[in-house]
Structure 1
């Protein structure tokens, strides 16, 4: 029987994780290893300064105290699976909120998929874009479109093969609409996100200064062919972006060779 390892960055009790488990349980044996609490925007970080506890929550369901999604994948692959019996697929999500453009470098959701492909296992990161800072989901969002999408992708992968090469994963973003209003799937490039600096300074009762980092609106630079993830979501399409971990700027190698010799 096929096995799928699931993680997320919203925590082991997140509604998006529950929706993902419901969607995939009929397709394969599901093993869940997720952070004990929200780890959004933790990036591709491993916890190296303290020990971590993996706590059994239910059958094939674990949480890691103060662990990151990367910790979850790294620890589970080396402790829950026998040698030679790794999972067929890793899926990270369903994240509440977008993971598009350069946000994948912040994203704990994307990081779970990154760690999987570093370990030689195909992976998907899936995120539910939302409006009004996730108010729709708090009011009872059903994840129907996200669930249908991940079922379609997983069936295709398990029946055939993963469509990408080594150290590459699929980054899936679901538009904030009902299933019947979706126009289909677009294969996209990562967009050019524009960032602000939304920080809020406060003082505690002792007069000590502290800061909260806020949320940035989804603002981006339009691409020439309207083919980036932001634009697909805006047009009510599902966005699927192939992401690779090789960050080398190959176009600049010759330029730098010339520059360094000048």
Structure 2
């Protein structure tokens, strides 16, 4: 039986996590290790300054108190699996909200998949895009995301992972029902536009504090190749291959000449 490790960055109680488990159980034995608390936008961070422990919630379902998604994958590989019986696949999600463009670098969801491929395990991150920050995920649900997760993971487990070493799949699902989906598109990560949504407030003692908000999903279109933002706009599931090698190869010769 295939072994699937599931995690997320929204915490162990997230409806998206439980929807993902439900979708993947027909494909193999599912083990869940998720953060105790929400860890959105924590990036590819490991916990090095305090101890971590697994707390069993149910059979093969653990929360890691108080770990990051990266911690969940890293520790699970060595604490819950032995050398001869490692996970065949790590799936992170279903995240509540998009992880497209440069947001991949912030994403705890994507970072769990990053850690998986660093550890030699195929990894997928899957996120449910919302139309706006006000869209109720309970009304939208995760039906299309569940369908996409099942379809992609089934193909991987039956045919093998389609990418090379230290590469993972970043999947984003449009905010529609399955009947309205226009298909699957292989995309590049888009060029995300950012602004300032740091909101200044005062507490009852008059002390200032800032609360970081969310930026609207805006991007620079690229006519040469379809990006993840454009695929979602067209009501398609976006599948982006992501590599961990961040080297800007086209700048190596320029930098040598500059030096």
Counterpart position of 2:4: 4
Name the CA distance, whole Å, in 1 between partners of 2:203 and 2:141.
Answer: 39
Equivalent-residue separation in structure 2 for 1:237 and 1:2 (angstroms): 28
Given the two structures, how large is their TM-score scaled by the length of structure 1? Answer: 0.97
Q: Which moved more, 1:195-204 or 1:98-107?
A: 195-204
The count of aligned residue pairs is 259
Cα deviation, residue 26, structure 1? 1.1
Contact 2:54 2:64 in 1 (8 A): yes
Maintained 8 Å contact 1:97/1:134: no
Residues 54, 105 of structure 1: CA spacing in aligned structure 2 closer, same or farther, 3 A cutoff?
same
Output the CA distance in 1 between the equivalents of 2:225 and 2:217: 16
Q: 1:183 corresponds to which residue?
A: 182
- In the alignment, the residues of structure 2 paired with residue 120 and residue 226 of structure 1 have an alpha-carbon distance, to the nearest angstrom, of 29
Aligned equivalents of 1:226, 1:156: Cα separation in 2: 25
Q: Secondary structure at the match of 1:40?
A: coil
User: What secondary structure sits across from 1:255 in the alignment?
Assistant: helix
Q: Secondary structure at the match of 2:133?
A: helix
Distance (whole Å) between structure 1 residues aligned to residue 225 and residue 195 of structure 2: 23
Range moving further from structure 2, 202-211 or 62-71: 202-211
Q: What residue is the counterpart of 2:41 in the other structure?
A: 41
Q: Distance in 2 between matches of 1:131 and 1:154?
A: 26
Match of 2:253 in 1: 254
Q: Does 1:208 align with 2:176?
A: no
Moved more, 44-53 or 88-97: 44-53
CA distance in 1: counterparts of 2:168 and 2:207, whole angstroms: 43
CA contact (8 A) 2:184 2:238 kept: yes
Equivalent positions of 1:1-262 (< 5 A) are: 1-133=1-133, 135-138=135-138, 140-225=139-224, 227-260=226-259
Q: How far is 1:83 from its partner?
A: 1.6
Structure 1: runs of 5 or more not aligned: none
Q: Which runs of 4+ in 1 moved over 3 A?
A: none
Please give the alpha-carbon distance, in whole angstroms, between the structure 2 residues aligned to 1:105 and 1:79: 27
Distance 2:241 2:184 in 1: 13
SS in 1 for 2:98: coil
Query: Following TM superposition, by how much is the alpha carbon of 1:224 offset from its aligned partner in structure 2, in angstroms?
Result: 1.6
Q: Distance in 2 between matches of 1:213 and 1:116?
A: 29
The 1-side partners of 2:83 and 2:117 are apart by 17
Q: Structure 2 unaligned runs (5+)?
A: none
Q: How much has 1:108 moved relative to structure 2?
A: 0.2
RMSD: 0.9
